[in-house]
Structure 1
Amino acid sequence: MSHLRSSGRWARGLVALTVTAASTLAAITAVAGPAGAAGHPKPAAAAQAEPGGACTSADLGTRHPYIKSSEVTPTITHFKGWYVTAGSTGTQTVNTSVQTTISVSVGLTGNVEGSFAVETLGKVGASLGLNVQVSYTSTSSTSTSVTWNFGSPGYYGLYKGTKKVTGTYGSLNCNRVQQGDGSWALKWTAGPDTGSYTTFTTLEEGAVRCEDKVPANSIMAKAQGLLDCGSASATAQHPAGPVPSAKADRAKQDADSAATAARAAQGMKATQAARPAALNCQPAVYRIEVPGKPLNWSAPLLANDGVRLRESNFFSAHLDNWRLCNVTENNGVIEASLWNWGNGGCATIPANIANQEQAYLTTASCGEDDLQRFYIYRDVPGSSKIGVQNKYTGSMLGHDRYADGELIRQYSSGRQDGTGTYALTAV
C-alpha cells in the first residue's frame, strides 16, 4: 500500500472543501435537508447492494463485496509415488508428503476476519457454483496418510488435492452520484479499495496410474502429472513401496521457494518505517458527530487510548475539532488524513491490531501511512452525513453503542444498523 502521496493540492473538481468554512458548509455540511434528516432510515439489505442500486444515508457507513475475478486451479496438497507388485496388491496405507499448503484469506489480514470476508467468500462460491471454505482454515502442512485398495500391480501416485480458488474483489459503497438531470441521489458505487482472496473446495484423495484416462484439468490429472510417467523411474521395475519422483520433488521445492520469497517480502514491508509527512490541512474545522445527537468524535489525551464519543463543552480543549489534510478526490470520494487540533495527531488504526475486527481508532504522529488515510462517502448536497472508511484495512468506522466514552472502532462491513453514519459539521 505505497500509493499515498502528500502533495496536498486540491483536485480541480473538489468543490466540497473550499478555503472558507462557509462554502465548505454549503457543499458538504450544510444543515441537513430531507435526505439528511436526523435519524437513520432502515439500511438496504446486503442482497440489494448492487452497482447502481439505490442506498440510503444509513448505508454511508457500510460496504459490501463484489467479485471482480476468479481462477480455479486443481492443486495437489500431498503426494507419494508408490509401486505395487503382484504380491503386494490389496489395501495399503501410504504416508504422503506435503506438496503445498493452502490457507484461506481475504485482503490484507492473512485470515478471515469479520463479516465482509465471509460475505466475500460466500459470493465467490455462489458465482462459481462451488462449495468453498468461508472461514479461516488451511490444508495440512504435515505428511498425512492415504489408505487405498490396490487391485492390480503398477506404478501409482497417491494424492490428496483440492481446487484452489483465487481472485480479486472490490467493495460497493454508498455515495452520492449526480444524475443526468443534475439532481443527486445515493447509489451503490464501486469504492476505491480492492483486494485478493484465496480459498479452496473440499479435499479429495485417491490413487492414479500413468495409463489411467482421467478428465483434463482435474485434481486427478494434476496428480498424474506428478508421476513423471515418461521417466526411467516410472518405467523401471521396483520392489513394492515408494518410488522417487523427481517431478514431485521439484514441485515441492518450487512451492517452498515461493513461500520463502513471500515471507521475505512481507518482512521487508513490515520493517519499512513511515516517513514524516508535512500535512497540508484545509482551514475549515469540523466535528464528526452522531446525527441528531450531542456526542461526537473526541481524540484521546493519552497515547494508549482511543477516539471516543464525547459531548463538546468548555473542557473539550479542541480534542473534538478535526481538519481534513492532504485531500484528494476520485470519482466523488474524498481521501484525507484527519488531523486533530487538540493533540496534534492524525487519526489512525494501530498497526499491531489493524487486522482485527473492531480494532479501535486512535491518533498518532502524522506520517505517510495508509492506516492514517480515510475515504469519506457523502450524502447528497444539503446533508452533512458521511461514512468513513480506513484506506489500509478497508473497514468502515462506527461505534457499538451510543454512549459517552464509547470507542470508535472499525467494522469490516460497517454497522448495518446505521450507527456508522456520522455528520461532518463545520464549527
Structure 2
Amino acid sequence: MSHLRSSGRWARGLVALTVTAASTLAAVTAVAGPAAAAGHRKPATTADKPKLGDACASTDLGTRHPFIKTTEVSPTITHFKGWYVTQGTTGSQTISTNTQTTISVSVGLNGNVQGSFAVDTLGMVGASLGLNVQVNYSSTSSVSNSITWSFFQPGYYGLYKGTKKVTGTYGSLNCNRVRQGDGSYALKWVEGPDSGSYTTYTTVEEGAVRCEDKVPANSIMAKAQSLLDCGSATATAKHPAGPVPSAKAEAAKAGHEAESAAKAEKSVKATGSPAPATRAALDCRSGAYRIDVPGKPLNWSAPLLANDGIRLRQSTIFSAHLDNWFLCNVTENNGVLEASLKNWGNGGCATIPADIANLEQAYLTTANCGEDDLQRFYIYRDVPGSSKIGVQNKYTGSMMGHDRYADGELIRQYSSGRQDGTGTYTLTGV
C-alpha cells in the first residue's frame, strides 16, 4: 500500500486500523460494567459508581445511575465513492463522496443527549470498550464529504470515510428497600424498571482502498473494500478517469435512505411524546398524602393557574387541598411502587408536559388524569418506619427534584436525580 499517501495520514491510519480491528473483534459481544466517561472526561474507577446490591442511603432515593447491559461494535462506512485513476490522472485529487449511512448519537428518549445520565451512559460504554466514543450529541451527517488524496498508481479505488458504530442497551440502578433473608429491610442499589438503548460512534477516519489491497479483517477499510464490487466486471473494465457506478454503493445508499427514514421516525418519538392521554377512572387508595421536603415546612403543591407547574409551598388553612395527593392505580414490582399522583385540590394528575418531556429540568405540572405513562411514577421507599421516598417518571426515566429549597420553587425532572439529596422527599399521611 506504499502507493498511497495523504499528507502523512495513511501511515498513522494503518497503525490505528490494525489496533482497532482487533479491539472491535473482542468488543462485539462484550458486556460492560460500570466505568467512567471516555474522551475528554476523566475515566472513573469501579469505586466511583455504585454496583448492583451495594448499600445506599436515604439521600440516594431520588437518584439513579446507569449501567451497561450489552454492547455491539460494527465498522460502518458513512461516505463512499468508487473512483478510477488512469495513467496521467495520478497525483493529488479532491473528491466528493456520497453519504452512505448517517449515525446520530442518542440515549433512550434524549436524541440530543441531554442530562448527566445520558453522558454517563456513553462514557461508561467508551471506557468499557477502551474506545473514544462521542459522549455528546453529534451526527456523521455534519462531517464533510470531501476527501483529498494523493494517487501514485492508476487503479480502481474506493474513497471512504467511516467509523465504528457502537450500539447496545443500558439499565439504571436505583436506591430502594430490599427485604433480607432474616425478614429485615435494608437500602440497596437495585435494577430499576426503566431501561433503553443507545447509539454512538468513534472517530471518523478516511482513506482509499483497492480490491488487491490486503486489509485487516472486520476493519473500516475492509468494509469500504466490500463496496468496490471486487471480482465483478466493473472492477476490471476499462474506464475513463473519474467516478464509478457501483451496484453495492447504490444498495448502500438505498439502505442509508431507509435508515434515515427510521431515524426521522425515532426523532419524532424522542422530541415528541406518547399519544394524547385518554381520560380514565382511577382507583385511588383511601387517604391523602403530602410530599414534603424532609425536616422542612415546604411540600409539593399543585398549580392554580393553567400552564404553571407544581411548586414547593407551605401548607396553610388556605391551601385548598392543593398540597394533598392521592396514590391511584397502584402496583408494586420487586418492592418498587408505581402510581398516578392525583391532586385533591384541582383533580388533575401530576405529569411532565408532553412537548418538553425530552428536556432536562422540564417542570412537573398537572393535567386531566388519563392512561398516560407521563402521568405514571415509580416510588422508591426507605426501610419501614421511615416515610422517605424518591420519585421517578415512568416515561422519561428522570427523577423528580428541586434546584434549591425556596418557596415557589418548581419541581423538575433530572435525568440522574439530584446528587445532593434534594430529590428525596417524605410521603406524609394527612
TM-score category (smaller protein):
0.7 to 0.9
C-alpha separation between the residues in 2 aligned to 1:334 and 1:259?
A: 39
Cα deviation code 1:45-100 (max 9, x no counterpart): 98241101111000000000000011101000000000011211121111111111
| 2:244 counterpart residue number | 243
2:205 is matched with 204
**Offset at 1:270?**
5.5
* 1:404 to 2:398 alignment: no
Conservation of the 8 A alpha-carbon contact between 1:78 and 1:143: no
- 1:379 counterpart residue number: 382
Per-residue CA deviations over 1:99-151 (Å, capped at 9, x if unaligned) read 11111111112121000011000100011110001111111257611111112
The percentage of counterpart residues that share the same residue type is 78
> Aligned to 2:309, which of 306, 311, 319?
306
Closer/same/farther in 2, CA of residues 112 and 261 from structure 1, 3 Å limit: closer
Q: Which moved more, 1:266-275 or 1:375-384?
A: 266-275
Q: What SS class does the counterpart of residue 416 from structure 1 fall into?
A: coil
Measured after TM superposition, the shift of residue 182 of structure 1 is 1.4
Could you tell me how far 1:335 is from its partner in structure 2? 0.4
> CA offsets per residue over residues 271-296 of structure 1, 9 Å max, x none?
83322221111112100000000000
- In 1, Cα distance between the equivalents of 2:309 and 2:262? 36
1:148 partnered with 2:149: yes
Is residue 373 of structure 2 the alignment partner of residue 370 of structure 1? yes
Q: 1:159 to 1:113 in 2, by over 3 A?
A: same
Please give the secondary structure, in 1, of the residue aligned with 2:254. helix
Distance 1:205 1:265, change over 3 A: closer
Measure, in 1, the Cα distance between the counterparts of 2:395 and 2:69.
19
Q: What is aligned with 1:290?
A: 293
CA distance in 2, matches of 1:122, 1:48: 12
State whether structure 2 residue 120 is matched by structure 1 residue 114.
Answer: no
1:348 aligns with 2:351: yes
AA matched with 2:156: Y
Please say which of residues 307-316 and 254-263 is displaced more in the overlay.
254-263
**Alignment partner, residue 5 of structure 2:** none
- Once residues 122 and 148 of structure 1 are traced to their aligned partners in structure 2, the CA distance between those partners, rounded to angstroms, is 34
2:100 partner amino acid: Q
In the alignment, residue 191 of structure 2 is paired with which amino acid?
A
Alignment of 1:416-427 (within 5 A): 416-427=419-430
- Answering whether residue 105 of structure 2 is matched by residue 101 of structure 1, we say no
Deviations 1:216-243 (A, max 9, x none): 1110011001111122222211111111
The 5 Å alignment of 1:261-272 reads 261-264=262-265, 272=275
Change (3 A) 1:74 1:144: same
Match of 1:164 in 2: 165
- Out of 388, 392, 402, the residue aligned to residue 389 of structure 1 is 392
Matched positions, count: 383
- Whether the 8 Å contact between 1:98 and 1:142 is mirrored in structure 2 is no
Name the TM-score, length of structure 1 as normaliser: 0.87
Contact 2:324–2:345 under 8 Å retained in 1:
yes
Contact 1:282 1:323 in 2 (8 A): yes
Structure 1 portions without partners, runs of 5+: 1-44
Q: Give 1:330 deviation, angstroms.
A: 0.6
Q: Distance in 1 between matches of 2:274 and 2:354?
A: 12
Deviations 1:338-375 (A, max 9, x none): 00000000000001111111100000001111110000
Letter in 2 for 1:103: S
Give the TM-score taking structure 2 as reference length.
0.87
Instruction: Say which SS state the counterpart of residue 316 (structure 1) adopts.
Output: coil
1:318 aligns with 2:284: no
1:163-188 CA deviation, whole Å, 9 max, x = no partner?
Answer: 00011100000001111111111101
2:175, 2:380 within 8 Å by CA — same for their partners in 1?
yes
Q: 1:237 is matched by which residue type in structure 2? A: K
3-state SS of paired residue (2:81): strand
- Give me the whole-angstrom Cα distance separating, in 1, the residues matched to 2:390 and 2:266: 33
Does the aligned pair in 2 maintain the 1:157–1:223 contact within 8 Å? yes
Match of 2:278 in 1: 275
Q: Supply the distance in 2 between the matched residues of 1:270 and 1:61 (Cα, whole angstroms).
A: 24
Q: Which letter maps to 2:398?
A: S
Q: State the partner residue of 2:31.
A: none
| Cα deviation, residue 384, structure 1 | 0.3
